Amino acid sequence: MIRRVPILIIVHILLFSCHPRYLKQSEKSEHYSLKESSVSNVLNDSLSRYKKKVDQETGRVISTLSGEITKEGNESTLGNFVCDALNYNKDFFPGETVDVVIVNRGGLRANLPKGDIRVINIFELMPFENELVLVTIKGKELLKFVPHVIEKKHPFLGMKIKIKNGQSESVLVGDEPVDETKNYNVLTSDYLANGGDSFTFLSNPVSIKPSGLKIRDAIINYCDFEKKLKQTIDPYKDGRLIISK
């Protein structure tokens, strides 16, 4: 055993010393243009046809506005429009009533111009993938929404809120004062239901029901319905939020 170790070392040295070594002098490569590829032509054709279909859908007229709808002011015409649109889709919760609709002002990303409204306008208004949900909360939790309204003027439907000197003077659901012990069904987005935009009062509900319907599609459904009736959508305010000094 003692003699075999030096022999193995010598063989190892001889093998590696005799192994030829190569130095790369140059590199040859060929370039194939994708523009010349038949595969690329097929891909471009497919993309072109797909883009045409997308353009046809996003350019589809779904309703007409008699005037510009914006999110300006304490009670915004855009917020009222979106709340109406969500409320139209309440049938996605069969057997349930909707007491209040709540959306966040910051989630409304674009005003809607006077005239024809197209699908692309709704994508610009609501670019997010949020879904419509029905959240059941106690009245005492619903009252926690009021400070958010005072601070950021978030849109809502089904409530009447009077604010004086920065404090809530009265909060009604329908024509009745909010009962802290009563359950109220709130139609909103899953983003807000999970406490998004500091809406933590929604994040611990009595129950929550999903619809599987995106907020954007809910708005499109509403616009399609109004168009089917050949009705023009009018910007409006109804005094649901009154702020005085």
Q: What is the pLDDT of residues 130-146, one digit of tens each?
A: 999 999 999 999 999 99
Give me the mean pLDDT over the 170-181 stretch: 97
The answer to whether 122 touches 220, Cβ cutoff 8 Å, is yes
Contacts 24+ apart (CB under 8 A), 192-197: 192/102, 192/103, 192/104, 193/133, 193/135, 196/104, 197/104, 197/106, 197/107
What is the distance between the alpha carbons of residues 227 and 206, in angstroms, rounded to a whole number? 37
Spatial CA neighbour of 238 closest among 48, 77, 65, 99: 77
**206-215 pLDDT per residue, tens:** 999 999 999 9
Q: What is the topology classification, in CATH, of domain 57-244?
A: 5'-nucleotidase;  domain 2 (3.90.780)
Q: Please report the pLDDT score of residue 19 as a whole number.
A: 43
Domain edges within the chain: 57-244
Sheet of 183-189: strand order equals 156-157, 100-102, 183-189, 131-138, 207-214
Q: Which two tokens stand for residue 193?
A: 């239901």
Question: Which residue is listed with tokens 């109406």?
Answer: 84
For 157-183, what is the mean pLDDT? 96
Q: Which uninterrupted H or E stretch holds 196?
A: none
The pTM (predicted TM-score) of the whole model is 0.79
Look at phi and psi of residue 198 and say left if phi exceeds 0, alpha if psi is from -120 to 50, else beta: left
